[in-house]
């Protein structure tokens, strides 16, 4: 592998595209000051932006990474503490039988880093993770979106869902009303930062994003809520880490195609970099099995 070294891959960007994203009440908007007190939740003309927190995104990515580890005949750290008082102990036990090991059981390795999942996400005994998952800032105005800072175009709405009566006499009288925060037509980048870059980290990220993209319509791999209504079907791909900032911006410019230089970098990434990263991932999982 010539050129950029693995230690230089500190910041990577995932392209995220979805028609509908519902993460319950976790979306934080600027509607209170941006609307000057005149915000109407259902007004199609509102220009509300905000933040999509990284919590749901992180869980979605981690699940994809766990599946990759298991596809290599390894086991992944369970995200729950082994001594936690789970309300559904039977579910936790079945998780362990389905390709997981109790969180922290892998820390008896020579380097003390644990398995690749624990090494990346941390969280056991106040261990910091080695990948920082940033929130996504969104705006309905495309010209306000800076893709090099992990931002996205997205259109916020507050939706109402009613559970209504089913008998003829009450004529669909509402029984319960639920408000849902949603962002539609999301297209942008999710910025991940490695605190320490290792080739197996990059290899795991690449394979996880490919898996999540291939299985995007599977219930278990959709992002957020409203999954039965088409929410969280995410088209995702790793933006080539060899791109310069201006090339990353060009990916989202609908009026321009990729340049020959970008095509050359795509070939270089696929032919020279990816095989090394994927090999490093396979070797680490095999060593941990």
| Low pLDDT (below 50) residues in the chain | 33-34
CB 109 within 8 Å of CB 100 = no
Which helix (H) or strand (E) segment holds residue 118: the answer is helix 116-121
| pLDDT tens profile 16-41 | 999 999 987 678 887 654 455 555 65
Residues in the chain: 289
Residue 42, pLDDT score: 60
Check residue 163 and give its pLDDT: 86
Please tell me whether residue 121 adopts helix, strand or coil conformation.
Answer: helix
* CB 181, CB 161: distance < 8 Å: no
- What whole-number distance in Å separates Cα of residue 262 and Cα of residue 246? 11
Contacts of 43 (CB under 8 A, 6+ apart): none
Both tokens assigned to 2: 């010539």
Structure tokens at 190: 């999710």
Backbone angles phi, psi at 76, to 5 degrees: -110, 150
Residue for token pair 């936690």: 84
122 touches 147 (CB < 8 A):
no
Residue 33 has a pLDDT of 46
What is the pLDDT, as a whole number, of residue 113? 83
What the block records as the tokens of 266 is: 């795509």
Residue with tokens 């999540």: 212
State pLDDT tens for residues 32-72.
Answer: 544 555 556 566 666 788 999 999 999 999 999 999 999 99
Domain range annotation of the chain: 6-158+184-288
């Amino acid at each position: 592998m010539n050129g950029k070294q693995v230690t230089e891959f500190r910041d990577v960007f995932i392209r995220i595209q979805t028609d509908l994203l519902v993460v319950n009440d976790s979306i934080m908007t600027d509607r209170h000051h941006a609307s000057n007190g005149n915000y109407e939740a259902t007004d199609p003309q509102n220009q509300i932006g905000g933040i999509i927190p990284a919590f749901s995104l992180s869980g979605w990515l981690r699940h994809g990474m766990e599946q990759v580890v298991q596809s290599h005949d390894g086991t992944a750290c369970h995200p729950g503490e082994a001594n936690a008082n789970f309300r559904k102990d039977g579910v936790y036990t079945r998780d362990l039988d389905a390709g997981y090991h109790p969180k922290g059981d892998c820390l008896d390795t020579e380097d003390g880093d644990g398995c690749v999942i624990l090494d990346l996400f941390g969280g056991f005994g106040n261990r910091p993770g080695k990948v920082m998952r940033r929130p996504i800032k969104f705006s309905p105005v495309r010209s306000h979106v800076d893709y090099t800072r992990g931002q996205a175009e997205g259109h916020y709405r507050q939706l109402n869902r009613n559970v209504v009566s089913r008998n003829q006499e009450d004529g669909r009288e509402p029984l319960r009303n639920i408000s849902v925060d949603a962002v539609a037509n999301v297209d942008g980048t999710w910025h991940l930062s490695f605190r320490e870059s290792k080739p197996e980290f990059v290899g795991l990220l690449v394979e996880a994003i490919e898996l999540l993209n291939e299985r995007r319509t599977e219930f278990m791999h959709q992002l957020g809520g409203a999954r039965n209504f088409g929410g969280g079907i995410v088209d995702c791909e790793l933006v080539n880490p060899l791109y310069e900032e201006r090339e990353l911006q060009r990916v989202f410019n609908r009026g321009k195609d990729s340049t020959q230089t970008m095509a050359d970098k795509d070939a270089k990434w696929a032919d020279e970099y990816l095989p090394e990263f994927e090999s490093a991932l396979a070797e680490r999982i095999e060593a941990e099995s």
